[in-house]
């Protein structure tokens, strides 16, 4: 593992404790000692251990009972059971109870070292497995950070330098400008924290579950906590914790987050033990945090601790010279993804792209091109395709006869022009039907977030 592991030796024989302590301390591990179950519990209430060597015969209880209890609230801790009364039945019972390995006394110090190394590898793979499952749920298409705009180039140059330091980073910018993508780019450059990239979308978590989501919890910490849970901070160990939309984090939790940023440690919900947070913290927001501080909805001390290094991403309307690069990339990407022949945009569409202000920024452009690739039937994407993809780039009034003629061309014969709200409602319902009411997929195809889609559906249900 890339960090110094913390070990606990639980054995009533002082010779065993001392020999393991001396050897593993010289090897660079942090080692605590416990002569009985009571001491082991006390230590576990204060600290987190990566691997525990646990004797089965303790003066105050049987080791398997202690193993069951400790493992319930420490799911990723690996236990190596040791015993002087070893036989196949004992070993099998230990493994069934949850031990990683079984060592029969007397054992050599090198047998203990080999078992420890295997246990640490198992712990690493366990955490990576959890992270992989989580990241598959949160996965989005990987896209390069594209741009020839001067500001974008300066941001990338600065990101390469900052990635080599231990600094906390704050990324600001309008929604859709690529704040999460920049965070991933910084992580790509990062040599100090090369571990997993874990994203927490602070705008999507129910306030009552926020603390558990970030810090994890132990079994029985609150009603419904039937098992222990590893939080996002621990999943990001040795990597990057990306707190997206940090302005939405509840005020009462900001003090706890401040402790993580300042002291690099935290406690899971329901536990008194301190866990080291070996993570780089990067936060992002589309809010003005200085204004939030003035309003009293964001802690001033947390703001300054997050804002050690600041990146501000420009809106797409401020970097229109990047539109051809972005459209070309997204067009090729989605044609390949959906196995469609490579398409091109008509000159009129390119002109519209340059004239449009893109309130949703790069994300809006990306999702529009995805819909155009899905719905357009011809090799050239035209204004007509923009209409059917639900892209309203015009004023609400029809200004001239040519535009009116275009509307008449795309509308079925005899159809009337409906209010925009009714057209939007009909189109969204059609997309929902097409995807069998998978709201996440529908929101993605429509180029809006899930909350916006949910709010629209609720509004229509009340009407």
Q: What is the mean pLDDT of each run of 10 residues along the chain (463 residues)?
A: 72 90 90 92 84 90 85 78 76 81 87 90 69 46 71 91 93 93 92 90 79 85 75 90 92 89 89 87 94 93 94 94 90 90 90 91 93 89 85 52 51 56 79 77 79 82 63
Which CATH number does 150-314 carry? 3.40.50.300
Q: What 3-state DSSP class applies to 349?
A: helix
The architecture that CATH gives domain 6-122 is 3-Layer(aba) Sandwich (3.40)
Residues of the chain with CATH 3.40.50.300: 150-314
pLDDT in the model for residue 402: 46
The residue whose two tokens read 């404790």 is: 17
pLDDT in the model for residue 404: 52
Neighbours of 147 (CB within 10 A): 21
Tell the burial category of 308 from Cβ atoms under 10 Å away from its Cβ (0-12, 13-18, 19+). Answer: middle
pLDDT in the model for residue 73: 66
Distance CA 176, CA 139 (A): 16
The architecture that CATH gives domain 317-462 is Orthogonal Bundle (1.10)
Residues of the chain with CATH 3.40.50.2300: 6-122
Tell the burial category of 137 from Cβ atoms under 10 Å away from its Cβ (0-12, 13-18, 19+). Answer: exposed
Neighbours of 59 (CB within 10 A): 10
H/E element holding 53?
Answer: strand 51-55
Distance CA 403, CA 58 (A): 86
Q: What angle, rounded to 10 degrees, do the helices at 109-138 and 14-26 form? A: 60
Tell the burial category of 39 from Cβ atoms under 10 Å away from its Cβ (0-12, 13-18, 19+). Answer: middle
Task: Please tell me the pTM assigned to this model.
Answer: 0.60
Residues of the chain with CATH 1.10.8.60: 317-462
pLDDT in the model for residue 98: 81
Distance CA 276, CA 266 (A): 7
What residues does 345 pair with on adjacent strands? 381
Q: Look at strands 265-266 and 275-276 and give their pairing.
A: antiparallel
């Amino acid at each position: 593992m890339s960090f110094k592991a913390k070990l606990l030796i639980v054995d009533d024989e002082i010779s065993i404790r001392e020999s393991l302590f001396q050897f593993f301390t010289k090897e660079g591990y942090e080692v605590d000692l416990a002569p009985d179950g009571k001491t082991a519990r006390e230590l576990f209430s204060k600290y987190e251990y990566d691997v525990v060597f646990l004797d089965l015969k303790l003066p105050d209880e049987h080791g398997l009972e202690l193993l069951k209890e400790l493992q319930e609230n420490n799911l990723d801790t690996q236990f190596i059971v040791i015993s002087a009364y070893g036989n196949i039945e004992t070993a099998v019972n230990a493994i069934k109870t949850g031990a990683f390995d079984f060592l029969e006394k007397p054992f050599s110090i090198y047998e203990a070292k080999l078992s420890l190394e295997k246990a640490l590898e198992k712990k690493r793979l366990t955490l990576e497995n959890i992270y992989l499952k989580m990241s598959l749920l949160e996965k989005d298409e990987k896209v390069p950070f594209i741009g020839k705009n001067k500001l974008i180039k300066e941001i990338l140059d600065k990101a390469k330098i900052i990635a080599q330091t231990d600094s906390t980073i704050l990324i600001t910018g309008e929604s859709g400008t690529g704040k999460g993508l920049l965070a991933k780019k910084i992580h790509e450059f990062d040599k100090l924290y090369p571990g997993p990239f874990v994203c927490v979308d602070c705008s999507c978590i129910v306030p009552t579950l926020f603390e558990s989501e970030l810090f994890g919890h132990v079994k029985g910490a609150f009603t419904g906590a039937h098992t222990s849970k590893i939080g996002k901070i621990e999943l990001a160990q040795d990597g990057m914790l990306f707190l997206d939309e940090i302005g939405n984090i509840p005020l009462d939790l900001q003090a706890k987050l401040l402790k993580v940023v300042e002291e690099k440690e935290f406690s899971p919900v329901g536990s008194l033990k301190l866990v080291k947070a070996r993570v780089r913290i990067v936060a992002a927001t589309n809010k003005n945090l200085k204004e939030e501080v003035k309003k009293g909805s964001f802690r001033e001390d947390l703001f300054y601790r997050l804002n050690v290094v600041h990146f501000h991403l420009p809106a797409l309307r401020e970097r229109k010279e990047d539109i051809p690069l972005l459209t070309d990339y997204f067009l090729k990407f989605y044609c390949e993804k959906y196995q469609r022949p490579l398409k091109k945009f008509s000159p009129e569409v390119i002109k519209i792209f340059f004239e449009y202000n893109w309130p949703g920024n790069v994300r809006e452009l990306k999702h529009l091109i995805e819909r155009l690739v899905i719905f357009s039937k011809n090799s050239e994407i035209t204004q007509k395709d923009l209409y059917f993809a639900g892209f309203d780039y015009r004023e609400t009034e029809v200004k001239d006869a040519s535009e009116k003629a275009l509307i008449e061309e795309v509308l079925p014969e005899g159809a009337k022009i409906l209010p925009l709200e009714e057209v939007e409602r009909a189109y969204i319902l059609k997309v929902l039907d097409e995807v069998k009411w998978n709201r996440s997929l529908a929101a993605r195809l429509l180029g809006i977030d899930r909350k916006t889609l949910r709010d629209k559906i609720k509004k229509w249900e009340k009407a």
